[in-house]
Amino acid sequence: MNPRARQPWRRPGWRLGLTAVAVVVAGSATVATAMASNAPSFGDSSATVPLSQVVPAPASTHTNPGVAFNLTPDDAIYATGGSSDAQAAAGYLAGLLRKPTGYALPVDSITSQAQPKGIALELNSADKGAAGSYQLNVTRRSVTIRAGQREGLFEGIETLRQLLPVKVESPQAVNGPWLVQGGQISDQPRYDYRGAMLDVARNFLPVSDVERYISEIARYKINYLHLHLTDDQGWRIAINNWPNLTKVGGSSGVGGVSSGFYTQAQYKDIVQYAWARGITVIPEIEGPEHMNAALSSYAQLNCNGVAPPLYTGFTESPTGLLCISSATTYKFMDQVIGQIAALTPGPYISIGGDETQDVSPADLATYDKKIAAIVESHGKKIYGWQDAVGGFDASKTPAMTEYWQSGVNDPAVIAAAKAGTKVIMAPSTKAYLDMKYTADEPEYPVGNSWAGYTTASDAYNWNPNTMVSGLPASSVGGVEAPLWTETIFGMDQAEQLAFPRLLEIADIGWAPASAHDWNSFKSRLAAQGPRLREARVNYYLAPGVPWPMGS
Ligand code: TNX
């Protein structure tokens, strides 16, 4: 379809440059007294967190009143023997708990004998269900997390983490008790895909910041990190044989302020860090537009053979279009995508493809056809922004596309969905974490507003299945929360925009549709305040959320 027909949603001025049921237990987890149901849990280390107070909301919970598990210095973490996935999950859990508790928490294998006291992670392929599903069972002696697939163990761990006291987020050892409410949780995701997108191209974020963001999103059962690695303002990944991409293209950023790139070894570390938290990284290499950084690096990628200057503007570069008719472009893209594929254990590579308004439909189809063949030849599946689907022929549509143009019932996306493409919902008016919360300044100076202001309740109040009329609900593969960084310098600003709205998108992606209710959600969200504070996440105390003491 003609991309020019989609102009109405374009960003204005884009080219202008511009409560708990508390249970008190004695040290050995023997229940002594039940406290008043509205007792504040903050600072009260003898209160347990209700099983339903988790974000995202679990599919089902059953509380055993009067029962609690108490983690003690003699406990260990047991994992299914012979399973590297279960052992890795146990290692992750031990890493989370050793610091705040100060306990040794050795990791051991589950034996056939009666299970000793502690936490058990059981991976059992006989357990059917979606990748993230898990069962959590809390008795006086043990916490057992059981899952059929690796991802489920990680999701169960994040639930357990939220059921422990707030001080589990402490960066140093603090005193217990470490109580968990007794009962069972049986949980599964509403959607297989729950993503966060991080733009490291506009403003570079070093490895430590990306890893920090990964550890923050993991808490809320986000299972994909989509990394926007290239754009007009910066190229952030080293590609062998094309050193100028990082030497030149990596030397700029919006406003000329930030610069930097990842070596391939550093990038592998990021992918591994994410995998060790149950998250799959999807790298994005933009094209055919948003390519100014690459075009400045290599003159031969430009149709006129002249490299444009580096672009440090805030909006889309007027000189950022790859030369679609040149064989060099595809030789380049083949090498880039080949190297990226080799660094990517996950199934998807994003080819970007947004804002192709300067490309004719015929050129777009040429580019998309060649790009599809390249991605396929490197054994990966295509992910791309919704603007990209129009150029592909029906039999070669991307495996997944990301819908962002709120209010546009894009016929190309609907056709692609009917041909088997999964649609990931990231409507800019709801899920774009870079939109400001309110118009109030200077209270909140960073962020965009071209898609409007997005309060905490706005980010929560929508349904992925009904965003696009005419789109079969079965084609909705999940949700994603993009964080574009034209206005964001550093993690403080990134976190203030991302949190708490990322929790809301995560809840929409995971919690059963029947649990979707702002009033109950906002108290679950509020209970995360002290946790985020304790974890030193610079979140925004969004009005309208009953943040408790300690938030
Ligand atoms: C639109 S949404 C863009 C990005 C910008 C973002 C800013 C989309 C696929 N493209 O290039 O960074 O708006 O909010």
Q: Out of 155, 355, 480, 504, pick the active-site residue.
A: 355
Position 322 confidence tier, pLDDT thresholds 50, 70, 90? very high
DSSP structural state of residue 325? T
Measured at the CA of 56, the angle between CA 53 and CA 62, to 5 degrees, comes to 50
Q: Distance, CA 466 to ligand 1 centroid (Å)?
A: 22
Tell me how far apart the alpha carbons of residues 120 and 520 are, in angstroms, rounded to a whole number. Answer: 31
Q: Which atom of ligand 1 is nearest to the CA of 199?
A: 12
**How confident is the model over 388-417, as a mean pLDDT?**
89
432 lines ligand 1 (CB under 6 A): yes
Which two tokens mark 225?
Answer: 């990190």
Give residue 129's pLDDT. 87
pLDDT band of residue 167 (cuts 50, 70, 90) is very high
The reply to whether ligand 1 has any atom less than 6 angstroms from the CB of 402 is: no
Active site residue 155: no
Residue 298, Cα to own-chain centre: how many angstroms? 33
Distance from C-alpha of 19 to C-alpha of 50, rounded to nearest angstrom: 8
Distance separating the N- and C-terminal Cα atoms of the chain: 49
What mean pLDDT do residues 390-402 have?
86
For residues 283-309, average pLDDT = 98
Handedness of CA 363, 368, 371, 372 (dihedral sign): negative
Q: Which residues on neighbouring strands pair with residue 33, listed in sequence order?
A: 24
- Cis check for the bond before 177: say yes or no (omega within 30 of 0): yes
User: What local confidence, expressed as pLDDT, does residue 350 receive?
Assistant: 97
pLDDT at 126: 85
pLDDT for residue 297 is more than 50: yes
The distance from CA 63 to its chain's CA centroid, rounded to whole angstroms, is 30
Query: Is 354 a pocket residue for ligand 1 (Cβ < 6 Å)?
Result: yes
| Residue partners of 112: CB distance under 8 A and separation at least 6 | none
**Amino acid, res. 149:** Q
Q: Output the pLDDT for position 442.
A: 62
Structure tokens belonging to residue 414: 């609907």
Question: Which residue out of 448, 483, 484, 501 has the highest number of ligand 1 atoms within 8 Å of its CB and is therefore the one to mutate?
Answer: 484
* pLDDT score at 28: 35
Q: Tell whether ligand 1 has an atom less than 6 A from the beta carbon of residue 296.
A: no
Q: Is the CB of 403 under 6 A from ligand 1?
A: no
What is the distance between the alpha carbons of residues 150 and 411, in angstroms, rounded to a whole number?
37
One-letter amino acid at 46 equals: S
- Ligand 1 mean position, distance from CA 300 (Å): 27
Angstrom distances, CA of residue 310 to CA of 27, 250, 292, 417, 435: 63, 10, 7, 37, 26
* Confidence (pLDDT) at 45: 59
Atom 4 of ligand 1 has which residue's CA nearest to it?
484
Q: Is residue 31 pLDDT above 60, yes or no?
A: no
Which residue has better confidence, 76 or 21? 76
What is the tens place of the pLDDT at every residue in 44-101?
556 899 999 999 999 999 999 999 999 999 999 999 999 999 999 999 999 999 999 9
Overall average pLDDT of the 194-207 stretch: 98
Angle subtended by helix axes 501-510 and 518-534, to nearest 10: 130
Four-residue CA torsion sign, 532, 536, 538, 540: positive
Cα–Cα distance, 302 to 294 (Å, whole number):
9
pLDDT at 44: 59
pLDDT of residue 10: 47
| Cα 484 to middle of ligand 1, angstroms | 7
> Is 90 exceeded by the pLDDT of residue 12?
no
Q: Sorting pLDDT into bands at 50, 70 and 90, what band is 479? A: very high
**What ligand 1 atom has the least distance to the C-alpha of 450?**
14
Q: How far is the CA of 450 from the centre of ligand 1 (A)?
A: 10
Q: Which residues contact 472 (CB under 8 A, 6 or more apart)?
A: 417, 418
pLDDT exceeds cutoff 80 at 348: yes
Q: What is the pLDDT of residue 23?
A: 36
pLDDT score of 35: 34
**Total residue count of the chain as it appears in this document:** 551
The per-residue pLDDT of the chain, averaged, comes to: 91
pLDDT digits (tens, 9 = 90+) for 92-140: 999 999 999 999 999 999 987 777 899 999 999 888 889 999 999 999 9
Please say if the pLDDT value at position 252 is more than 60.
yes
How many Å lie between the centroid of ligand 1 and the Cα of residue 532?
28
Single pTM value for the model:
0.93
158 lines ligand 1 (CB under 6 A): no
pLDDT for residue 179: 98
pLDDT the model gives residue 444: 67
